[in-house]
Structure 1
Amino acid sequence: MSDAASAPAVRAAIGDSEFDRDTALVPRGPGVHDIDLSAGWTIMNAVNGGYLLAVIGRALGQTLPHADPFTISAHYLTASRPGPAVVRTETVRTGRTLSTGQASLVQYDDDGTEVERIRVLASYGDLDALPDDVRTTAEPPAMPPLEQCVGAEDGPAPGSVSSPIADRLRLRLDPSTLGWAVGAPSGRGEMRAWFALADGRDADPLSLLLAVDALPPTAFEIGLSGWVPTVEMTVHVRRRPAPGPLRVSITTRNLAGGFLEEDAEVWDSDDRLVAQSRQLARVRLG
């Protein structure tokens, strides 16, 4: 199937897409923001960690004098669920080129007890003010063209990715990282895919926070199954992405003691490394 055939007929604009609506917050007062976490971004009944990071990232961007996330580190304390939530933000330091803030996302149990879901520390700046000088040995991931990769439209999706979030993304997975989907995982901790939002909205720094956590977990290709909850994740946004689909490459080199790391790189259509992340996640063994 060609890219043109799989792309939406009408492309949503940044600021007017499902992703923007579902990450929109209602200010209640200084540093306090209300949101209704959408069930559309869940996987295995839990709200996706990248979507949650984008929600908090938007709140911090509305709080700090700089708009763009440069680095954002999140500790996931308890699993979030769809429904009302509160994001509290605080400015820690304001500088000329960078400002730093912290944030917490909380929800309430049925008895009214407040439960903190995520705590974040982040630094923001202006991506458009960065110099053009790039010196790197990093290279884009070796992947087949988009039309040679596998999307949900090519056949029934494996049960482990048949979640509401899959309907909001246009993922086309590298066939060499899809052995798990046919019961023959490679044993290598690798996952690669072309990434875009289903409604055609182009990527921006906020959606990069989603992209780093949107692929199936590398644990599947190692031969494990089930939920792989994130313990901590740090994202570095390096550039404002060019329009067009992104390439996301995730690798795991070490699984030990029931924990693994996932290192992600996100490349844009101009072959620029636009985001990096590392997360520590728990896995169920046995």
Structure 2
Amino acid sequence: MSKSYRLVAFGCRLGRMAYAAAQASIGDSEFDRDTTITERPGEPGVYDAELSAGWTIITAVNGGYLLAMVGRALAAALPHPDPFTVSAHYLTSSEPGPAVIRTEAVRVGRTLSTGQASLYQYDESGAEVERIRVVASYGDLAALPDDVRTTALPPAMPPYEACLGPEAGPAPIPGSNAIVDRLRLRLDPATAGWALGAPSGKGEMRAWFELADGRDADPLSLLLAVDALPPTCFNLGMMGWSPTVELTAHVRRRPAPGPLRISITTRNLAGGFLEEDAEVWDSEDRLVAQSRQLARAPRS
């Protein structure tokens, strides 16, 4: 639910990202610390968590960050380590603070296990409010065969140094812009006109992606990456809140070290909703993740 909150602020604050001096490692980075879960004693499959204010835009928590946190809980609850397919429905907006994730194993097989999970927070009376509901299948990416037969091609975009980074954006808007400081996004100039008041009119967005502390990508952080770019509707001249309704991500293989390239396209905006198809490519030109989501178009 928080995607457009995050991205509106990104568009107003592209130039204020902080770059870390040293590279963090997987398991010892801000992303890992902020997606920490703790299983409740005596309650198997139930995990307590703290939604960090560091992954907010304006007032809401980023949807990809939420997906990664629920993904971590499912990895702990299921016998297989890696998300293969994860489908999430965003029900209510999340806020920084305590949360509980309740998981259930639906089926456990030899190569795949399927589970479901819901993340809850608490209302003023202390009652649980469901924020996001997920169904996912997990396996072992390291056990997959190396055979690849594909017509997919990496996105045609300028090299990292030629894309638009911290020097490109105008002043921030009021509210929390915390997540902007936790990402390194460098936009393809052909898809960055919206940030300068000149949208291209095409439903496209492309960028290089890294975490700001330099942590390399892994299957869990790919769940963040598929929801990390500005929405394509910005380049259609529609600025504003574009909340995610449903998102399905497919993780295809473990990414190689180095920056990722992400390409997102929209072919159909109709009835107040749009789809976004994302591809994530690693530094070895391998397609490592794909996703599709349905989102509401900004209201004029």
TM-score (norm 1): 0.95
Matching residue's letter, 2:211: L
Which residue does 2:119 correspond to in 1? Answer: 105
Picking from 17, 26, 34, the partner of 2:38 is 26
Looking at structure 1, the residues matched to 171 and 49 of structure 2 have their Cα atoms a distance apart, in angstroms, of: 30
Structure 2: unaligned runs, 5 residues or longer? 1-17
1:170 Cα shift?
Answer: 0.6
| CA shift in 2, pair 1:282/1:171, >3 Å | same
Deviation per residue, 1:26-46 (Å, 9 max, x gap) = 111201101110011112311
Looking at structure 1, the residues matched to 85 and 174 of structure 2 have their Cα atoms a distance apart, in angstroms, of: 30
Which residue does 1:129 correspond to in 2? Answer: 143
Secondary structure of 2:116's counterpart equals strand
Looking at structure 2, the residues matched to 128 and 161 of structure 1 have their Cα atoms a distance apart, in angstroms, of: 42
The total of aligned residue pairs comes to 281
Aligned identity (percent) is 77
| CA shift in 2, pair 1:258/1:223, >3 Å | same
Looking at structure 2, the residues matched to 131 and 27 of structure 1 have their Cα atoms a distance apart, in angstroms, of: 33
Which residue does 2:52 correspond to in 1? Answer: 38
Matching residue's letter, 2:128: E
Deviation per residue, 1:108-131 (Å, 9 max, x gap) = 111222210011000000000000
Question: Which structure exhibits the higher relative contact order, with contacts defined as CA atoms closer than 8 Å and separated by 6 or more residues?
Answer: 2
Structure 2 counterparts to residues 1-286 of structure 1, below 5 A: 8-28=20-40, 29-156=43-170, 159=173, 163-286=177-300
Looking at structure 1, the residues matched to 191 and 142 of structure 2 have their Cα atoms a distance apart, in angstroms, of: 35
Matching residue's letter, 1:81: E
1:102 Cα shift?
Answer: 0.3
Which residue does 1:3 correspond to in 2? Answer: none
Asked whether the 8 Å contact 1:44–1:227 carries over to 2, the reply is: no
Asked whether the 8 Å contact 2:240–2:299 carries over to 1, the reply is: no
Structure 1: unaligned runs, 5 residues or longer? 1-5
Looking at structure 1, the residues matched to 169 and 89 of structure 2 have their Cα atoms a distance apart, in angstroms, of: 36
1:226 Cα shift?
Answer: 1.2
Asked whether the 8 Å contact 1:31–1:90 carries over to 2, the reply is: yes
1:272 Cα shift?
Answer: 0.1
Looking at structure 1, the residues matched to 268 and 58 of structure 2 have their Cα atoms a distance apart, in angstroms, of: 24
Looking at structure 2, the residues matched to 232 and 241 of structure 1 have their Cα atoms a distance apart, in angstroms, of: 24
| CA shift in 2, pair 1:46/1:166, >3 Å | same
1:161 Cα shift?
Answer: 11
Which aligned runs of 4 or more in structure 1 are off by greater than 6 angstroms? none
Looking at structure 1, the residues matched to 259 and 164 of structure 2 have their Cα atoms a distance apart, in angstroms, of: 14
Matching residue's letter, 1:37: L
Looking at structure 2, the residues matched to 259 and 243 of structure 1 have their Cα atoms a distance apart, in angstroms, of: 35
Asked whether the 8 Å contact 1:158–1:181 carries over to 2, the reply is: no
Asked whether the 8 Å contact 1:217–1:228 carries over to 2, the reply is: yes
Looking at structure 2, the residues matched to 57 and 20 of structure 1 have their Cα atoms a distance apart, in angstroms, of: 12
| CA shift in 2, pair 1:81/1:279, >3 Å | same
Deviation per residue, 1:58-82 (Å, 9 max, x gap) = 0000000000000000000011111
Which residue does 2:4 correspond to in 1? Answer: none
1:227 Cα shift?
Answer: 1.4
Secondary structure of 2:70's counterpart equals helix
| CA shift in 2, pair 1:67/1:136, >3 Å | same
